[in-house]
Amino acid sequence: MNILIITWLFPPSNGGVESYTYNLAKNLSKEHKITILTCLGHYPTEKKEKFKIYRMKEMYPYGRKKEDYGKIYKKVLEILKKEDIDLVHSHNLVCLETSFTKAIVNAVKSKDLPLVDHCHDARFKYLNKELKYEKFDRIIAVSKFVKKRLINLGFNKNILEVIYNSSDSKVFNSGKYSSLQAKKFFRIPLNKKVIIFPSRAIRTTTGEFGEQKNFITLLNSTKLIKKDFGDDFVVIFPVKVGMKRKNDAIKKTLYSLREKLKKDGLIENVIPITKKVGYENMPLLYKTANIMCTPSTEEAFGLVFLEASLMQLPVIGAKSGATKEIVINGKTGFLVPPKNKKRLAKIIVRLLKSKEFRDKIGKAGRKYVKDKFDSNKMLTEVERTYKKVLENRKVIYLVRHPETKNNRENRLTGWEHSQYTSEGNKQFAKISNYFKDYQGQIFSSDLKRTSKLAVSIAKKNGIKPIITPLLRERNFKETLPHHTYETESSVAKRTKKFYDKYHPRKAIIFTHGAILRHIARHYLITNRNEFEEPRNVIFKIETNKNAAKLKKIRL
Q: Which of 380, 385, 381, 399 is nearest to 504 (CA)?
A: 399
**Model pLDDT, residue 381:** 96
Alpha-helix residue ranges (DSSP H) falling in 393-447: 405-408, 422-434
Any idea which architecture 393-554 has in CATH? 3-Layer(aba) Sandwich (3.40)
- pLDDT reported for residue 40: 81
In angstroms, rounded to a whole number, what is the distance separating the alpha carbons of residues 72 and 79?
A: 11
- Which residue, among 262, 269, 249, 140, has the nearest Cα to 195 in the 3D structure? 269
393-400 and 537-544 beta bridge pairing: antiparallel
pLDDT at 479: 45
Taking the C-alpha atoms of residue 295 and residue 336, their distance in angstroms, rounded to an integer, is 8
Identical fold between 2-163 and 174-373? yes
Multiple choice CATH, 2-163, 3.30.420.40, 3.30.1390.10, 3.40.50.2000, 3.40.50.2300: 3.40.50.2000
Which superfamily does CATH assign the domain made up of 174-373 to?
Glycogen Phosphorylase B; (3.40.50.2000)
d(CA 190, CA 75): 50
pLDDT, tens digit only, all 555 positions of the chain: 999 999 998 888 778 888 899 999 999 999 999 999 999 865 556 678 899 999 999 998 877 888 999 999 999 999 999 999 999 999 998 888 889 999 999 999 988 899 999 999 877 666 777 787 778 999 999 999 999 999 998 998 999 999 999 999 999 999 999 999 999 999 999 999 999 999 888 887 788 888 889 999 999 999 999 999 999 999 999 986 444 556 788 889 999 999 999 999 999 999 999 888 888 889 999 999 999 999 998 899 999 999 999 999 999 999 999 999 999 999 999 999 999 999 999 999 999 999 999 999 999 999 999 999 988 999 999 999 999 998 888 899 999 999 999 888 888 777 888 899 999 999 999 999 999 989 889 999 999 999 999 999 999 999 999 999 999 988 866 444 555 577 888 888 999 999 899 988 889 999 998 888 888 877 766 666 676 666 778 999 888 765 778 888 988
The string of DSSP codes covering 457-498 is HHHHTT---EEEGGGPPP---TTSTT--PPPHHHHHHHHHHH
Question: Could you give the 3-state DSSP secondary structure of residue 257?
Answer: helix
pLDDT digit string, tens, across residues 403-419: 999 888 888 777 888 89
Are 389 and 114 spatial neighbours (Cβ–Cβ below 8 Å)?
A: yes
In the chain, where the domains are located: 2-163, 174-373, 393-554
